[in-house]
Structure 1
């Protein structure tokens, strides 16, 4: 059966036929290899590598590596042409062999020179040093072709000298090792070569040192690293087993912490160079470099890695296919786009391989010979070359269309707009003429002109780089045009200019505005409606990216999916606490911004929005708890016996954009170290949620509702919490408990907490005494929060009066009516109380409407630039309804 496989494959490969006919492929070796996927063990058992190294038999090592390559390549060809293997097997097998060949040659070369000069030692650590080999390009991404060269970079840990009698500097020692490694793989002998070795991707290329220390590499990347080198290093993979810090020093060079829209122009520039070469050399039939070829698929995958890889560590991948799949999974690219690109990529790579199978040549150019064309078509499953060409061209056209869509030049319409409004930002413009045109466009001319002049003469603008200033200049007229179409053009433009100045030092954000001019109108519309959102975006300009997200106006928040995405993002931080805290903040900011934009578009009611903001906070806290515990030293158990309880607005699911989180931490653990451990956990958890980082702030956390308030412990045992609630808690603390709920943690604590809460809230109470205490509590607020009608929270008949009334109803009647215990929020609880006849049903409806109205006023004050609540008949009518309810429930007005 296996001989049938070789017979079926040989018409499509001169290389295979030549080696079969010459007897250079022995059946007893090749045929068993055809029935399996080759792995490292197969390579290791092919020859006695240890003896070859011990004998220092360089010629034999070169011979056996070349023999092994012959068999590996033949095995790949036969399995692929018989459609036994897929693309992943083909590229992984040859890449694994390349890794093996590099390490085998390196072991030999290192031992050879160590015997001559001794072991290279680190100058500072005095420890043995080794050469790390970094595979770049296709070798780095496990994407090699059978006839690929391998791009390598050599790095050693530390400078120093060898410890032998013939002392050598480590630089010289490792240069010799590298040269011998290259010769063992690259030199052509009677058995051919193993791989062509290309070292031109090393720092300074052919003119640079063959090897360099980690320190030298880091300094080069920081001081001289060029944009194209970022793309090269994106696939860089250390293939040797020695300890090194190469990944750590390369990552910040490749993946920027912010969204790097500069990558667009850099990638375009690189692609323009390639297209120029293709055109000069007539390489249009090159399936790698021609339009719609393999390189364009790779560029599409890499552009998103470059832009977002610093933010989304899940995108810090090596392979093209895995990157495309991840882009689809993260929603960065539509699923159908990913499927189109993957299908094309696999087809094109299959073609590439068959071109190279023909005569083991590194070629990607379609054949001109009719006979070879027919054989290529048949090997790809087509009846003739015309049908094959149709299939190939269909894939290439789809890839090229997507490539042009994703990496096309910024829209031409932007140039027109910039030209039309260029007068706004012209140097040396006549001030009178400028103000006249601004006034005609609807602006407060004097204010805007002064602001523009202030910017032009300011340090930020004058110190912009030669690269950034033209981008800044291009955006100002576009912002003016976008602002002019808003109902408040002056305020809008001033907010846009504040934003522009704030981001001006980050040329990547300026690049975004130049790349996506279609977003400027939307940006102006958002900023015109809300100073708060404008400030939020100015504080977190990374949110610009959300403006081009397909999910921006999608109100279908799948919180389980979002929680999974957040979890993946945190896991991809590799245990780096700062990176995890930044990931949390970026996730939360993105969801808040998305909700705010939807809110401005009128897509949410206040209640529904509060539900979403509360679910967001729940999701964040639930993600933080296990990470904080995992990050803690000296833990007495693997899983904490701990829970987070929310009070206040989060407890009642009435969270606003800037609400504090009122939290209480409970544990149920008899271990003698429990109090100390959970106190530390509580402190760290609070810090993760509230401390500002480079990515900004998350939440303000208020712990004053815990037992004993600020003087109490950070975390309480369940038993202590229950004892406090039964024996020491004030009535106001039981009022607060009506809105408390479990957020996350150990499920058994949730059960116990609900039991304690129910027991406390349903305890027998003196109704009159309870009324007096609540009335007294309300009166105590007056000195610090006077009940002015313009303040809907503290006004007589306002928010607090509704909340106190509901809390009384829960505390006084939940013993008989357990439905009042459910934490549905004040609006629902008023309805439940009315259903049980505890309050008048019509009045309950009026008070529900009043409460909704109050919350909307509070919300608009924050979001929609409402400076203060207008005291009118509608508002005073709502106040009167709530005051009537208060009188019905408590039997008297509170004293003013």
Structure 2
């Protein structure tokens, strides 16, 4: 190949028709097309008439189009332009052509019929031209048609003047659309600008050429089909008023992007792909010479697009970033979101670039809209050389390599998993729904190794006869039946391997879960499409009754079990969560209901990841508590920031307001279902400050405690604020300091030993920590007896409120339990911090006990024994809670020796 011109017959003909074009082409080919000014280029083409008169817009635009195509061919084949430059230039030019011709056509139409006016708003109307497909995604081919949809805002009539004929807006915009199509697509002596395809409009070719916003909304709600969701992902308004475009987006977004995780779309795309493949196979059988369709064939461009867009349709409703229109940018986002591995995405991008470059070279030959290798061996050889390969064999080998990889990735997502379950899906559903089959089911369960097979069989039949399942659509019942059938063997295996739990109990938990999700076909689709997720569900609910309940309440968390992405538990993941959460909340600004759900979903997802690590034995109780406390801190900080923005008459943009944590959050010992003990402080002299911060505190509590479809965040307890329930909800930092110095009870100073600044204004936080240090370091040696007496009295009150009469040991409240240890630590901190300031550090009970022993404040062996007891009791308490038990009571034998050590330490401290 001597030059790019010799490879493209279209370029040869274009240059041969007018040798003067060579100079213009050479000059333009030296410039990057990403910065080409199409307006200036069009003006040059318009002025280039041999008659001296300016060319009409249609002729000039077609000539500019041909020049652009030839320049792209020259630059691309010479290695001076990459794929991005090529597709971006074509997309920008298509936008420019549509905008220019629409403006001219609109002027002609309004001159004849007047300006269209909206019947409701009274505003002049503009047509929105929506670019679809690769044009909408900014990735248009060099010889592609453009898919357009015409939308106008409102019905009404044109405001006709003298000599003008009024039209309805509907008729006006249909005529305008026809003029626009003709201006762009009509073939003249200069060729055409773009072929135009309008088949994606509502009702396709049988629908009106232009639709109002109301017509689009009615159509998408009533008739919109799954494949149209796929098409509308790329819809982009090229023209129109910004407010009208926003109104259209508000209509289209909920149709395309569901608010839940929509795994049902996998099957819809699978079906659509099968239809496309069947047609391609038919065409290749009829025309063997036109084989190797790089767009629609196996492992082709369309499969890469489907791979990217399935994740958009599944998750785009919850993650606005995934609403990106570009296939390449979407693929990169999938790597960032860890939905596909970075290596897989790089390979897919490499394949996409190769296939798109090959597609362009097929089109460079004749400026033809083709996607198949040419029949002629000579042309195949030319295409191979355009691709930088020596011959056709090398081209086919490289093509096969890329397509095999793409096909494998496509199959990993879209292969029909239902085929692997074996047998007829309807069979298990029919068997379980018939109570006469109980004995046969019990025998099947016994053969699998189930304990209590009769009980499990009865539960299975009862669940299947429940009204919630009886009224399911047949397809859902069959899918659910197949899942249950698959789960039975997995339950038996999981219980046998783990040595934990019971098959009958685990089956009961799983059936509760299935009942909860039965009407959400997306969740059934997820478990069907990703069979390993069902096994992970079974392992989790077998290990923990609390986990089973939590997953049943929040089935959206199934997504967290899809794979091991994001399973880290360090600061980096928390920082990534903070960044992602902030971005999602920013995107939902002004929609408080959505922001409440975003907070809950993010919290539950992170909590669930920690739960998975916990059940896998990868987290100690202490490390888990650290992670849960850090997560709560993050949520508290975001809620303060976002709730403040909802105060209508806030007197400053950033509140001088802080949240102080007490109790388990203060001590960084938070559990899965702990409430938050907090107080609210402010430092602001503005006259509106007390009222606004009181509103902020109330909204903070509302944001945390309100039950939404996504659940709840935390219960909030503010009883530790100055003067308790009778005190102000929010205190100034000065009032808090005065109260702590002169009015606070001993038990309030006890609580202060586990308090810390949690979120909000860092200056207030620093001042609170200084106040806390001062109060805790008071010299209490002269009042030691009074201090002991007050601590003992408070302990007795708590003991009397929780009498132990069950015969089992209450890990928290019984003598020798966790409360005793916490009170001992609090007493020793208050008593000795004056001489040993290091004791005021919020380091947790176990570390403080060790410090007391090292300082000689208590017997070192007793200190170590009490620390060991606290560690064991927290672990046992955690295990009991994971099994879903409200009261943390255990067999006394498990803790007898440890409780005895704690009692001895208590007597040593208090007599």
Q: TM-score, normalised by structure 1?
A: 0.94
Q: Counterpart of 2:50? A: none
CA shift, 1:523, in A, is: 1.8
CA shift, 1:807, in A, is: 0.8
Q: Counterpart of 1:276? A: 278
Question: Which of 785, 807, 813 pairs up with 1:768?
Answer: 785
Q: Which moved more, 1:631-640 or 1:551-560?
A: 551-560
Q: Counterpart of 2:848? A: 829
1:64 and 2:64 correspond: no
CA shift, 1:773, in A, is: 1.5
Q: Which moved more, 1:589-598 or 1:710-719?
A: 710-719
Distance in structure 1 (CA, Å) of the matches to 2:19 and 2:321: 45
Q: Counterpart of 1:10? A: 5
Distance in structure 2 (CA, Å) of the matches to 1:147 and 1:721: 73
CA shift, 1:617, in A, is: 1.2
Map of 1:837-856 to 2, 5 A cutoff? 837-856=856-875
1:138 and 2:140 correspond: no
Q: Counterpart of 2:902? A: 882
Map of 1:236-251 to 2, 5 A cutoff? 236-242=235-241, 243-244=243-244, 245-251=247-253
Q: Which moved more, 1:610-619 or 1:565-574?
A: 565-574
Map of 1:582-593 to 2, 5 A cutoff? 582-593=597-608
> What secondary structure sits across from 1:480 in the alignment?
helix
Aligned partners of 2:127 and 2:240 also within 8 Å? no
CA shift, 1:822, in A, is: 1.2
1:597 and 2:605 correspond: no
CA shift, 1:868, in A, is: 5.6
Distance in structure 2 (CA, Å) of the matches to 1:409 and 1:827: 54
1:399 and 2:399 correspond: no
Q: Counterpart of 1:205? A: 204
Q: Which runs of 5+ in 1 are unaligned?
A: 1-5
Aligned partners of 1:328 and 1:334 also within 8 Å? yes
Distance in structure 1 (CA, Å) of the matches to 2:760 and 2:435: 64
- CA-to-partner distance for each residue in 1:837-876, whole Å, 9 max, x for gaps? 1111100111011111221222122103567633434423
In structure 2, do the counterparts of structure 1 residues 61 and 863 end up closer, same or farther at CA, with 3 Å as the change threshold?
same
Q: Counterpart of 2:85? A: 89
CA shift, 1:28, in A, is: 6.2
> What secondary structure sits across from 2:678 in the alignment?
strand
Q: Counterpart of 1:471? A: 479
Question: Which of 338, 361, 373 pairs up with 2:380?
Answer: 373
In structure 2, do the counterparts of structure 1 residues 685 and 31 end up closer, same or farther at CA, with 3 Å as the change threshold?
farther
- CA-to-partner distance for each residue in 1:95-152, whole Å, 9 max, x for gaps? 1111111111211222222222222111211111211111111011001011111111
Q: TM-score, normalised by structure 2?
A: 0.92
Distance in structure 2 (CA, Å) of the matches to 1:491 and 1:93: 63
In structure 2, do the counterparts of structure 1 residues 454 and 385 end up closer, same or farther at CA, with 3 Å as the change threshold?
same
Map of 1:619-630 to 2, 5 A cutoff? 619-630=634-645
Q: Which runs of 5+ in 2 are unaligned?
A: 48-52, 285-289, 496-500
1:363 and 2:370 correspond: yes
Distance in structure 2 (CA, Å) of the matches to 1:23 and 1:627: 65
Aligned partners of 2:810 and 2:890 also within 8 Å? no
Q: Counterpart of 1:296? A: 303
Map of 1:482-881 to 2, 5 A cutoff? 482-485=490-493, 486=495, 487-551=501-565, 554-555=568-569, 558-573=573-588, 575-765=590-780, 766-786=783-803, 790-865=809-884, 869-881=889-901
> What secondary structure sits across from 1:155 in the alignment?
strand
1:452 and 2:460 correspond: yes
In structure 2, do the counterparts of structure 1 residues 291 and 436 end up closer, same or farther at CA, with 3 Å as the change threshold?
closer
Aligned partners of 2:433 and 2:465 also within 8 Å? no
Distance in structure 2 (CA, Å) of the matches to 1:256 and 1:598: 30
Aligned partners of 1:648 and 1:736 also within 8 Å? yes
1:264 and 2:271 correspond: no
Q: Which moved more, 1:674-683 or 1:585-594?
A: 674-683
Aligned partners of 1:443 and 1:484 also within 8 Å? no
CA shift, 1:425, in A, is: 2.2
Aligned partners of 1:417 and 1:481 also within 8 Å? no
Aligned partners of 1:421 and 1:480 also within 8 Å? no
In structure 2, do the counterparts of structure 1 residues 875 and 474 end up closer, same or farther at CA, with 3 Å as the change threshold?
same
Q: Counterpart of 2:498? A: none
Aligned partners of 1:13 and 1:358 also within 8 Å? yes
Q: Which moved more, 1:645-654 or 1:423-432?
A: 423-432
- CA-to-partner distance for each residue in 1:613-632, whole Å, 9 max, x for gaps? 11211222233333333444
In structure 2, do the counterparts of structure 1 residues 419 and 100 end up closer, same or farther at CA, with 3 Å as the change threshold?
closer
Distance in structure 2 (CA, Å) of the matches to 1:591 and 1:197: 48
In structure 2, do the counterparts of structure 1 residues 35 and 636 end up closer, same or farther at CA, with 3 Å as the change threshold?
farther
> What secondary structure sits across from 1:497 in the alignment?
helix
Distance in structure 2 (CA, Å) of the matches to 1:657 and 1:104: 60
Q: Counterpart of 1:3? A: none
Distance in structure 2 (CA, Å) of the matches to 1:466 and 1:331: 35
